Structure 1
Amino acid sequence: MRKLDTKSRALILRLLVEGNSIRATARIADVSKNTVTKLLEDAGKACAAYHDANVRGVEASHVQADEIWAFCYAKERNVKDAKAAPADAGDIWTWTAMDRDSKLMISYTVGDRSQATAREFMFDLAGRLAGRIQLTTDGHGGYLKAVTDAFSGDVDYAMLIKQYGDPTGQKGHERKYSPAECTGAKKEAIFGKPDMDQVGTSHIERQNLTMRMGMRRFTRLTNAFSKKAENHAYAVALHFMHYNYCRIHKTLRITPAMAANLVASPWTVDEIVALVEKEEEAKPKTRGPYKKKAV
């Protein structure tokens, strides 16, 4: 099988992180859909491994956390009527935690919206921080015990609970295309001594838009949704690698990883490709003639 050169791999990854779908990327790069999917898988694994090993000891003061919805294969309510739906079909949630000041995506977890996933997410976040933080989340009940267990009380934690109503003046089909109207918000100190003037989730909610624009499978009302949960997770890992290390933040004028003192200069997509190639070289290779075992 012909191996893609570095230039072609970099082009494909650039197309993916700029919000192109798998098929659109395949057409522009003049490769097969399977080639794009295989590179996404390899890149996602390499990016997840690098993030896990290197985004550690983060110096942060204010961290905001949120969850963003998408679906795999079919929406939850349609899974029972879907043909040949895989076991992981249905709603899929990406949990994210971002340093408010450096804009670094410190931790992310792909799963459901259960207490178990909240616990996994918060333990991962706590393990990446260098010291005590002020944490703000929305009012999702899964956070309460998860934050308590993960931080053992060594955190200043508050919730921002928003109330929503129907879009004003919208009726019928128009309502599907309009977001719910925020009718009010309430700040609640959960434990520790959070500065209530600093409680907010606006930065992490703006990050949700960045995710929907940067990953085609998050875009609503399209057919570009994920067909496999694994590929969804790979796309998330690639997106956050590019966001943290390669993309210059418009306000900061540097990358989030530079602002967090994780690297001294911005990365290029070629360096992400180098991670993929390094992982390939590390794989054990078959030596000698292959002989099929007798049945």
Structure 2
Amino acid sequence: MNRLDTATRTRILHCLVEGNSVRATARLTGTTKRTVTNLLIDAGRACADYHDQSVRGVQSKRVQVDEIWSFTYAKQKNVPFAKSAPEGAGDTWTWTAICADSKLCINWLVGARDAEYAREFLTDTYDRLANRVQLTSDGHLVYLGAVRDAFGIDVDYAMLVKEYGQAPDGPQTRYSPPVCTGAVKKPIHGRPDPKHISTSFVERQNLTMRMHMRRFTRLTNAFSKKVENHAYAVALHFTFYNFCRIHKSLRVTPAMAAGLCDRVWDIADIVALVEKIENAAPSTKRGPYKKKAA
């Protein structure tokens, strides 16, 4: 099988992690849509594997969790009428956990916004931590049972429940969310410090995701057509975010701030992860994305 050279792969991945769509990336790099998609799949797998192995034993004091919405193939209300809708079509939620100090994305999971996924996501997050943390989530009720099942009593947990007013009147209603009128801090377990009951950092990460992944951009046709490729794009993004992208306030990457590495990665380092897998098993065929077991 013909393989792209390292320089071309680096250019393709650089375009993808900076918010370009698959088709735009193909035009900018002089490749085909299929070539870009295949590299995204390979890079996503390699990044997911690397994150699973390397982001463990994380020293953190405060962790914030949240979920960000997107959709695959068609919006949920249109799935029953969509032609040849694949499995996983409709609402697609990405769960994220971020360290409030190092800004490291400790964990993520692509799936539904239900109790089963919440439990799986938080159990995996707990396994990656080295110490007791203060955990803050929004008011999504599935967190209550999921935190209890994943952390037991080894956590200081609180919810930040936001209150919203009516949506704006007029033409802007479609594009503007309701105004947040207040937030209630609700300690749930342990002794969370009220000063640090916040979801600001993880919500700011939502903006970073929408800016760096074209699939998350609203009101475009760049949404994911397959949930597997959506998950691969998320894995690529968070490896870039953790290891390559210098955080403005920290002046180092989140991985460096968390003590997981000692230098700023280049996109070529992500390409090296792909090539390492290829050299170890050159005949491996691409298969479906598999959700991590609980």
TM-score, normalised relative to structure 2:
0.95
| Residues in 1 aligned to 2:283 and 2:241: alpha-carbon distance in whole angstroms | 33
Q: How does 1:44-55 map to 2 (within 5 A)?
A: 44-55=44-55
Unaligned runs of 5+ in 1: 287-295
Partner residue of 1:237 out of 219, 223, 235: 235
Give matches, 1:32-71, under 5 Å. 32-71=32-71
Q: CA deviation at 1:284?
A: 5.4
Could you tell me how far 1:181 is from its partner in structure 2?
0.9
Provide the residue aligned with 1:77 in structure 2.
77
Q: Which residue does 1:98 correspond to in 2?
A: 98
Q: Distance in 2 between matches of 1:180 and 1:278?
A: 48
1:251 aligned partner: 249
User: Residue 63 of structure 1: SS of its match in structure 2?
Assistant: strand
Query: Per-residue displacement from partner, 1:130-154 (whole Å, max 9, x unpaired)?
Result: 0000000000011111100111110
Residues 264-279 of structure 1: matches in 2 within 5 Å? 264-279=262-277
Aligned to 2:189: 191
Deviation at 1:174, TM superposition (A): 1.8
List per-residue Cα deviations over 1:187-246 (Å, max 9, x = no partner). Answer: 100000001111000111000000000000000000000000000000000000000000
Identity %: 62
Runs (4+) of structure 1 exceeding 4 A deviation are: none
Q: Residue 18 of structure 1 corresponds to which residue in structure 2? A: 18
Pair 1:260 & 2:262 matched: no
Distance 1:66 1:285 in 2: 38
Whole-angstrom distance in 1 between the partners of 2:117 and 2:36: 29
- Show the counterpart of 1:283: 281
Q: How does 1:31-180 map to 2 (within 5 A)?
A: 31-168=31-168, 170-171=169-170, 173-180=171-178
Q: What is the CA deviation profile of residues 151-182 of structure 1, one whole-angstrom value per residue up to 9, with x for unaligned ones? A: 111000000001122334x32x3211112210
Aligned length: 284
Q: What is the distance in 2 between the residues matched to 1:234 and 1:165?
A: 37
Q: What is the alpha-carbon distance in structure 2 between the residues aligned to residue 267 and residue 157 of structure 1? A: 34
Task: Name the residue aligned to 1:28.
Answer: 28
Q: Give the equivalent residue in structure 2 for 1:291.
A: none
Task: Measure, in 2, the Cα distance between the counterparts of 1:106 and 1:87.
Answer: 28
Letter in 1 for 2:256: M
Output the amino acid matched with 1:179. Answer: P
Matches of 1:86 and 1:265 in 2, distance apart?
41
- Give the structure-1-normalised TM-score: 0.95
How far apart in 1 are the matches of 2:69 and 2:43? Answer: 23
Partner of 1:225: 223
What amino acid does structure 2 have at the position aligned with 1:26?
A
Q: Following the alignment from structure 1 to structure 2, what is the Cα–Cα distance between the partners of residues 215 and 166?
A: 30
Q: 1:48 Cα shift?
A: 0.1
Post-superposition shift, 1:49?
0.1
Q: Distance in 2 between matches of 1:145 and 1:185?
A: 22
Separation in structure 2 between the aligned mates of residue 233 and residue 281 of structure 1, nearest angstrom: 24
Q: How big is the alpha-carbon RMSD for the aligned residues of Structure 1 and Structure 2?
A: 1.0
Measured in 2, the distance between the counterparts of 1:163 and 1:77 equals 26
**Larger radius of gyration between Structure 1 and Structure 2:** 1
Are positions 1:213 and 2:211 aligned together? Answer: yes
CA distance in 2, matches of 1:143, 1:70: 20
